[in-house]
Every structure is written in structure tokens, then in C-alpha cells.
Structure 1
Amino acid sequence: MKFNESDILQIQDNGLSTEEVQRQIEIFKRGNIKVDIQEAATIGNGISAISDEERTEYIRAYEHQKEELDLLKFVPASGAATRMFKALHNFVDEFNPDKQELREYLDENGDSSLRTFFNHIEKLPFYTQAIEAAKKDNSDFDKLSGDEQKKLIAENVLYAKGLGLSDLPKGLVPFHKYDDVVVTAFEEHLYEAAKYAESKGVVKSHFTVGQGDKEKFEAEFDKVKARVEEKTGAKFDVSYSYQDPKTDTIAVDDEDAPFRTEEGNLFFRPGGHGALIDNLNQQDADLIFVKNIDNVVTWSNLGNVADYKKMLAGKLLELKGKVFSLLEKLQSNPSEEDSKEVSKFLVEQLFVKSLTGTETTSELIEKLDRPLRICGMVKNEGEPGGGPFLVKDEEGEISLQIIEGAQIDDNNPTQVKIVKESTHFNPVDIVCSVRKPNGETYDLEKYVDPNMSFIANKTKDGKPLKALERPGLWNGAMAKWNTVFVEVPVTTFNPVKTVADLLKESHQPLND
């Protein structure tokens, strides 16, 4: 592939090289590489079930040590709220109260989340604000029919003439309301972090945000800071970062040639959340808690969530201590017994199932001396899909991996059978250790499996294109980390994917 002078300048402006862009184009030509699942990770086979007594002990151990640790909560928060309000956008575009009743539209539409939205709209945290905006938008609001009112309310929820929630980052959408206090997902993450990530009176949180959204988050923090600090008794150190443009990827057409815009320019797209491994790589802490922006709970449930976070952290500290101890043995004239102890630990505690027993000391060190993560796993309550599996890579190494449905070869009956046998899914509930025994941080880019990138079909200016997403942050981007899975209850997982999810009981505050 030859690039013209204008292409080369555009590539360089993006912080990329022509060699990197050519490498990406070769991935399109190669196509997606499906993973080789060996087994589903289940209780006793890759997933640990922690007893109440063990949980209490891990919590105690963590609380005993946490004041001496650098702690950080890392929250991917660059997602827009647009998808959250997709059904409401369709409703506003399609529903005409002069020609159809709302009941008829909902029956024809068949979207249960939309029906839930209108049946319980008064329970939404921003309902009062939406009514006020709708009345300001139309002085005859009280004279309108019920269906006309509902459409006007929906418009004022979505668009800038009212609340403009659809145009906000998801983290700045109101999620809960306590008496007269309306709280965003961003603010809820601060309360939650204070419950388990506070050390020496300070809570450090890092949010990855979209370009142009940092000022919005900063303004929100300025607005809620006094309230949050008064309620928690802690000080907050909040930082932000963007997804680096150099992690953007080239788009191609159906012939795997670079896709060009109507102006003839190359077209680059953000490389998916896997690009955030670069943002995580810039953080330096003893323990880093990773959780998605839309997975928050109400104040009455914070204690339960915090206990399981502390349990995961306590388990991680135990494993980290053991890893450091074994590395010290291997690095100072290890005996045959030392090597056997390390091999046993790798197999039994880290589920590295591909050891032969003939590994050299340097090989054992290489397998042990890696970033470490503990991942909470929740029991499937619906159809099994992506989640925790034992996977064989191209080098024949079998390890615990978090796999998404798109990575699985659904034309392979054996792979499909293994997926159906899975019992748990990944809620993105991760605690990370990224420091070496000497205190330096690992270069996380070295532990990415580039083969786990993913090609997706998209459009631009009405024309089809193929987009390349980098290996997912908790999938391929952490593929070569040492990984442990631990079961956590479903009560710790309360994501908001659609606006109707805010009406679930778990998102309705009690007398908090």
C-alpha cells in the first residue's frame, strides 16, 4: 500500500507511522482470529468461591494494610449517553399523537423498556426537571392530552432545549434521587470509592473521558465536591485523561483499501475501550480498582458492594505477597524444591495449565513476573455469553481469560458447547496490581495480545466500512496478565444500559 504525501501528513498528525497503519490494514486482510476455548471457567475450575469466613478475613487483612497503600479507582467514562436513550429517540421520531394513541404505538413497537419508561416515568431521578422543562417549552402544557405531554417530556429529556441528557457523557446523566438531591453516575462513583479506596483520608479516582468532556466533569465535581466530602469525611483527588489519538485505527472499505471520506482523506476511528490500556499504563498505585461508569448502586447498598471490593483486594494482596516471595526465591540460587513450589503455585493458584515441569528458572520467572489481577465473576441468570474461560493461545499456553461473545467461533460446535456450559459472566469488577517487587510499574503494553483485536462493520457518510477495535481493556489488553477469578454476588452488578434500567428496584433509593 502506497500513501500519498497528504496521507503521510495526516498519519503523522495522528501520532502514527505508515508502518503501523500498514500493520492495521494487514489485520483487516487477515480477518478476526477466533479464540481457542478449552473449558469454561467454573467454581473449582478457574473460579474460586470464597466462604463467609474467608471473606471476613480478606476484608480484615485489606483494612489492616490499606492505610499504607497507594490506592486508585479507574473508571472508563468516555461513553456517551446516546445509546442509553436510543428507544426514546425512536419514539420521538416516530410517534405522532395526532394520528395514534401511545398505547397503540407501544403495542406495535414491542420495546418493553419503552413501556416501562412511560409506566413509571415519575420514578425517574430527573422527572421533576423534565416536567419543568416541558412546561417552559410549551406554556399550554397542562392543556395538552396525556400522550402529547409524554412526547413533549421525552423531547425535553433528550434535547438541548430541555435537559439535553442524550448529548451528555453517560457519567453525567442523573442516576438516582435522594429526597431533593439528584446524583449522577459520576458522583455515585465518588461515594463508592470512599467506601473502599480511601487511604490516609484521601480518595484518588481517575476517569477516562471523551475529548471535550473534561471541563464538564470538572464542573460537575466542583458542584458536588462539598456535598461528597461532607458525606464521606474524605478528601478527593480526581484526575482525567483522554483516549490518545495515536490509538485510533484506520478504517477500510470492503476491498480492505483505506476508506476515504467525501473529501478524499483517510478516515481514522477510536480504537475501542482496549485503547485505554495506554491510559491505565500511565497510572501508578499499589492497587487499582477498575469498574465501568454505568455500574453503580444506591447509598443503601454501598456497604455490600464495598465489602466485596475489599475482599477482592485482600485476596489480591495475599497472592501478590506470595508472588513476590516466590520471585525472590527464584532470583537467588533456587533449589529444585523452590522450582517445584513455583510450578505448583502457577498451576493451582493462577491456573497456568500448560506447564510441562521442565521449565527453566528464567521461564518460571517470566511466567510469574507479570501484572496481576483479581476479577469478580457473577453467576449467569440469563443466556450464557462472553465471560471467564480457559483459553489456549497461539503459543500453546493455556490461561484464564475474559472472552466476549464476538471472539467466539459460533460455527464450531465444540466451542459453542463449551460456551453453553459456562456458569458465570464478567461484570467488569477488577482489582489490579501493576507494580513490580522493586516498586517500578510494569509496562502494560507488553502484556497485550494483539491477535485479540476485532473487526466490526460500521458506516460513514452512508457508506459501509470496516473498523478495527483494539484488544478489549479486560480482554486482549490484559491477556498476558496473571489472572484469578473470584465469585461475587449479582447484587454488586447494577449496570444502566437503557434509561428504563434506572427504574429497576436496585436503582430506586430507599431512605438512604
Structure 2
Amino acid sequence: MDAALKANILAQGMDPETVASQIENFKNGFPFLKITAPATPGHGIRVLSEAELAQFKQTYPSKAAQLDVVKFVPASGAASRMFKDLFSFLDGDGDLSKSAFTQKFIANAKKFAFYSDLDAALKAQGSSIEACLEAGDAKKIVAALLAEDGLGYGSLPKGLLRFHAYETENRTPAQEHLVEGLQYALGKGNTVRIHFTVSPEHEEKFKAEIAAVLPALKAASGVDFEVTYSQQKKSTDTIAVTMDNSPFEEEDGSLLFRPAGHGALLDNLNDIDADLIFIKNIDNVVPDRIKGTTKDYKMAIAGLLLEVQEKVFAALRKLDAGIDKDSVAFATAVYNEDLGGTIPATVSSSSLEEVASFLRSKLNRPIRVCGMVKNTGEPGGGPFWIQESDGSLSLQILETAQIDLSDPESKKHLQASTHFNPVDLVCGTRDYQGNSFDLMKYRDMQTGFITEKSKSGRDLKALELPGLWNGAMSGWNTLFVEVPLITFNPVKTVNDLLRDEHQ
């Protein structure tokens, strides 16, 4: 790296060594992972019995009351993609017959939780939804929804849109996460702790929304809330390059750095000090009437994590007390039976001390339990068995881009996959001695993504860090549990809010 480029990188507050590594990634690409099989029910995915569900529902709340529990909600995503079709309609000639999506939106306007707010915005402009409908002016309704002089939904984050209508209030996803937190994230000190990752321009709006709804929620529940926020760190941005892998320069000569996808949030997660951390996307919420199943399975996956974690901790303490046949046999059983691990033949034939060292390195890691839903054609990562460089097998969530589709064996495993990842995780990030793991040590930097974008009419390549639940957690101990499809209700377009699950 020449001195001028290094000086430019330093001037923008970035680390030259990190940037040099990123440029090498652009040049070399990322290797595909070695899949040995899809994770399926009975082979990597646990299907809980009714008895197990009942057991965890009974035992989890009392355990959680003794723990620091945090609900971690990535909430910085803009809602603009929800309104892609409406923006297209707005940019067009206003002919409703050309947009089936907009027709559906207008025809069902009264079913949206933001209907009264939208009507009020139009009245402030001297009109109303009814008046616009009578005049056949759908464009004015859509403009009032999206534009800054109306509700401004086109530039707000999803977390601040009105999703669900109730008799006495209309809730945003941010509020729904607070309500949901009461059901399974009540920890030490009779407190629900929720952490939102937000974009800088929207943090004050999030704080205002939470401040507006929290007093009533506290009064009704008798529970304390601790709501915190963080922003994606500028230091996690990655350099953009031209199509020939040279740093992309802006017109003023500065280098272009871009946010590096949800994998950048590993830094934020690493700052959370807790025994148990739930992770769930901001838009995956439902009204109260169908929250019950989500509550049951959240308690189940957390209860399972605590149960397995206790065995892992016991195994590590036994190894600390002394390496002998009994302690190694116990640790082996936990690794094989509870974590689904396999000891490579090269290790199992070694000395007792070497086997113990291998087991200690495998057991003393962050642990996560991931809910998996049956594959219904939704986009998203899937659960697979991966062969590690040391010969052991591990459970991983893979995106399609990490799979070599030109390899018949890998393609066969992808086609045989039965489940996908709805981002339904619970994490244990403290070790058996109560210390927080440094999560940055357990990611695989060879699992990033390269995408093609454009800026100012020029093509560029962008780099995403290993995904938060993909490569960023590749070194964790992982368990997969089948959860019902009803627990996965994302809102990708505004018309998704018309589905029964959101009404």
C-alpha cells in the first residue's frame, strides 16, 4: 500500500491494515464452505416434544429471574423497501390500473393501523382519504403516506411505523418488542432489558416513541424496563472498490467506505454484558392474540440453552479439576450428545491430555440456540453440517452465496435442505467462570460477501462482513430447534400488513 493511499485511509479514521485485508478479499473472493449434509429433523435439528415444551415453560422463568437477560433488536433498517411499489406508482402517471399492488393498498386502506394518522395528515393538507377516493386521486394518498410533508413513512425505519391496530392504541414494532419482552425476557431485578441498534438519524425518534409508551406499560405490568440504543460503528465500514479492485474515489478524492451489512453489528453485540441474549429482527412481530406460540418457543429455546450450557460448564470444571478417563469421558459425552460434535480420528487416537485439550477448545465457546422453520420458499440462510479444517463437524447457518452451486454434492445438499433461518436466536456469551467471551475471536473472516452496487453512475464492488448469524458466529457452539412457522411473520412490503397474522 503506497503512502498516499495509507494517508487517505488514516485521514478518514480507518485502519490501513484492515483496509488492505479487505482489498485482498475483493481480489481473491471468499472460499465456499464444505457442506457434508443439510441439518434436518433428527440430524442436527431438534424437534421438541410437548413434554419438553411444558418442562421449559415451567423451569425457564425462575431461571431467567436470576440472570441478566437482554433482547437485542437490529432496528436500523429503513422502511423504504417496504414501499418500493408505491414509490414506483408515485413516480408514474397516477394510473391505478397499472399497479395491482397500489390497487390492493388503496382498496384496503382502512385495514392499516396507520389509517387514522394518514387521514389526519391529509386533513392537515385540506383533504381526507375519503375525499381523495371520491376524486380518484390515489396519488395524493400515497404521497401523504410517504412524503416528509405527510407521515414521512418513506424515510422512517420499520420500527417506527404503525403495524398493529388495537382498540385503544396503534402499535409500532418498537412497542411490540417491549410487550413481547415482558413474555420471555424478564430477568434479574424484575426488569426487561431491550437493546435497539438504530441509525444515527433516527435514534431520537426511537427514544421519543419509547418514552411515549413506556409509562403505561410499566404501570400495567408492574415491571421495570431498561431500554438502550447503539449505532453501527463507523469503524466497521468497509472500503468500496472499482470493478478492477482499486479503491473507489469520490469526486473530492476521498475514499468511499460503506456500512458492512448486519455482520457489523457483532461489535454492538460484543458490548452487551448479559447471561442470555435474544436476537430477533425488528419487523418480526405479531399482535397480542397470537403472541402465545412465540412466547412458548422463546422460553423453550432459552431453556434448552441453559440446560446444555450447565452440562458444558460442568464438563469444563471437571477437566479443570483433573484430566483422567472419567473427566474426559464426561466431556466427550457432552460434546457428542448435547452439542452434536464429533472428535476426529486423529484426535481420539491421541493422548488423554491432547483429547482433553481438543474438548476444552470446543466446549469453552459462546453458545447459541437457533429456531428454524420449515422451508416455504422464503429467502434466507439455511442450517447445514460443515466440515471444519480440523476434521470436526459443526452446525452452521449458510447463505446461498456461501455454497458452491457448481459442485454437484453441495447443490444436492442445498436441494435436500428442509428448513431456513428466520433470525430467532438466543445466545449465551459468558464462559463457565462468568467472564464475557470476546465474540470477535469466534468469527470466520473468510465468510464475507461481495456485492455489486453503483454510486454517481459508476459501478463499484462492496464488501459485507461475515453475517451476524452466519460467519460472525461460525466459531460458536450451535443447536438448531424446529419452531412453528407462525413464529415467523416478517413485513417485507406494506401489503404484508394485510395478512391475517398482522390484523
Paired residue for 2:448?
A: 453
Q: Displacement of 1:146 after TM fit? A: 4.8
Deviations 1:278-304 (A, max 9, x none): 111111111111111111110112222
Q: Percent identity?
A: 46
Counterpart CA distance in 1 for 2:378 and 2:295 is 28
Deviating more after overlay: 9-18 vs 165-174: 9-18
Deviations 1:338-373 (A, max 9, x none): 313322322232122353223521121011000011
Q: 1:18 to 1:106 in 2, by over 3 A?
A: same
Aligned partner of 2:407 among 412, 418, 424? 412
What is the SS of the residue equivalent to 1:32? coil
Paired residue for 1:34?
A: 32
CA contact (8 A) 2:122 2:128 kept: no
Aligned partner of 2:163 among 175, 198, 221? 175
Q: 1:142 to 1:334 in 2, by over 3 A?
A: closer
Paired residue for 1:55?
A: 53
Counterpart CA distance in 2 for 1:78 and 1:11 is 26
1:17 aligned partner, one-letter code: D
Paired residue for 2:203?
A: 214
Aligned partner of 2:68 among 47, 70, 74? 70
Give yes or no for the alignment of 1:346 onto 2:335: yes
What is the SS of the residue equivalent to 2:227? strand
What is the SS of the residue equivalent to 2:299? helix
Paired residue for 2:463?
A: 468
What is the SS of the residue equivalent to 1:297? coil
Paired residue for 1:332?
A: 321
Matches within 5 A, 1:328-407: 328-353=317-342, 355-356=344-345, 357-358=348-349, 359-382=354-377, 386-407=381-402
Paired residue for 2:438?
A: 443
Q: Displacement of 1:140 after TM fit? A: 8.6
What is the SS of the residue equivalent to 1:497? coil
- Structure 1: 5+ residue runs without aligned partners? 108-112
Q: Displacement of 1:85 after TM fit? A: 1.1
CA contact (8 A) 1:384 1:419 kept: no
Give yes or no for the alignment of 1:478 onto 2:476: no
Q: Displacement of 1:188 after TM fit? A: 0.4
Paired residue for 1:2?
A: 2
Q: 1:261 to 1:297 in 2, by over 3 A?
A: same
CA contact (8 A) 1:384 1:424 kept: no
Paired residue for 1:106?
A: 99
TM-score, normalised to structure 1's length?
Answer: 0.93
2:337 aligned partner, one-letter code: E
Paired residue for 2:177?
A: 189
Counterpart CA distance in 1 for 2:62 and 2:228 is 27
Q: Displacement of 1:230 after TM fit? A: 2.8
Deviations 1:420-460 (A, max 9, x none): 11111111111111111111100000000001011111111
Deviating more after overlay: 352-361 vs 63-72: 352-361
Give yes or no for the alignment of 1:491 onto 2:486: yes
Q: 1:264 to 1:440 in 2, by over 3 A?
A: same
Counterpart CA distance in 1 for 2:210 and 2:318 is 47
Counterpart CA distance in 1 for 2:284 and 2:152 is 22
Q: 1:145 to 1:53 in 2, by over 3 A?
A: closer
1:155 aligned partner, one-letter code: A
Q: Displacement of 1:227 after TM fit? A: 2.3
Aligned partner of 1:320 among 309, 315, 320? 309
Matches within 5 A, 1:65-214: 65-94=63-92, 96-97=93-94, 100=95, 102-103=96-97, 105-106=98-99, 113-139=101-127, 146=134, 148-199=136-187, 200-214=189-203
Deviating more after overlay: 379-388 vs 136-145: 136-145
Counterpart CA distance in 1 for 2:375 and 2:488 is 12
CA contact (8 A) 2:315 2:334 kept: no
What is the SS of the residue equivalent to 2:99? helix
Q: 1:381 to 1:287 in 2, by over 3 A?
A: same
Q: Displacement of 1:462 after TM fit? A: 1.3
Deviations 1:465-488 (A, max 9, x none): 000100000000000000000111
Q: 1:430 to 1:140 in 2, by over 3 A?
A: closer
Q: 1:37 to 1:80 in 2, by over 3 A?
A: same
2:184 aligned partner, one-letter code: Y
Counterpart CA distance in 1 for 2:55 and 2:327 is 28
Paired residue for 2:294?
A: 305
Deviating more after overlay: 270-279 vs 29-38: 29-38
What is the SS of the residue equivalent to 1:353? coil
Deviating more after overlay: 18-27 vs 199-208: 199-208
C-alpha RMSD over aligned residues: 1.8
Paired residue for 1:430?
A: 425
Counterpart CA distance in 2 for 1:385 and 1:140 is 40
Paired residue for 1:110?
A: none
2:83 aligned partner, one-letter code: F
What is the SS of the residue equivalent to 1:213? helix
Q: Displacement of 1:385 after TM fit? A: 5.9
CA contact (8 A) 1:384 1:422 kept: no
Counterpart CA distance in 1 for 2:126 and 2:457 is 35
Paired residue for 2:260?
A: 271
CA contact (8 A) 1:74 1:207 kept: yes
Q: Displacement of 1:139 after TM fit? A: 4.1
2:403 aligned partner, one-letter code: I
Counterpart CA distance in 2 for 1:368 and 1:9 is 43
Paired residue for 1:22?
A: 20
